[in-house]
Structure 1
Amino acid sequence: MFTRIVKMEFQEAKISAFLDNFDTVKEKIRNFPGCHLLELYRDKDDSSIFFTYSKWENVTDLETYRNSALFKNVWATTKPMFRSKAVAWSVDTEYSG
């Protein structure tokens, strides 16, 4: 299993629309095969910066999601709301306390 972190910076006027859309699609993403967790975080200092934090069974599952109609629809809706390009990391847990 691994974690995917995506940083997104939104245009101020688009934040409400993003949150509404996320609320609509979050359960579909969470129920996608191989997805074990999806959370949305908001930066404490800049309220236009959000992070999605998701856990995936394997890279193949994430790639299947990224090639799905669900992702393509989510991305087509979300991407025009950005104020800058999203940045993503796929990470493994090296230390958990």
Structure 2
Amino acid sequence: MFVRIVKMSFQEDKVDIFLNNFHEFKQHIRNYPGNRFLELYRDKKDPSVFFTYSYWETEEDLENYRNSDLFEEVWSFTKKLFKDRPEAWSVDKVVSLP
């Protein structure tokens, strides 16, 4: 299992549009095969910056999602709202303290 972190910066007047769309699709993303966890974070200093944080069983699961109709629908809508280019990291969890 690994963690995918995506940073997205939105045009200020598009934030609510993004949030509405995210809430519409979040359960579909979370229930996609191989997805084990999904959270959305908002930057405290810049309310137009968001991060998704998700756990995936395998890199193949993430790639299957990225090649899916669901991803195409969500991403093609979302990318029109960006202020800056998104950034993404795939990382392995080293330590987790409850």
> Shorter chain as normaliser: what TM range?
over 0.9
SS in 2 for 1:4: strand
CA distance in structure 2 between the partners assigned to 1:36 and 1:54 by the alignment: 7
Question: Aligned partners of 1:69, 1:29: CA distance in 2, in Å?
Answer: 11
Segments of structure 2 that go 5 or more residues without pairing to the other structure are none
Structure 1 residue ranges (4+ consecutive) displaced by more than 6 angstroms after TM superposition:
none
Unaligned runs of 5+ in 1: none
How far did 1:96 drift? 2.1
Q: How many residues align?
A: 97
1:62-73 superposed matches below 5 A: 62-73=62-73
Paired AA for residue 87 in structure 1: E
**Taking every aligned residue pair, what percent have the same amino acid on both sides?**
59
3-state SS of 2:18 partner: helix
Cα distance in 2 between the residues matched to 1:24 and 1:38: 14
Residue in structure 2 matched with residue 54 of structure 1 by the alignment = 54
Question: After superposition, where does 1:1-97 map in structure 2 within 5 Å?
Answer: 1-97=1-97
Which amino acid is 1:7 matched to?
K
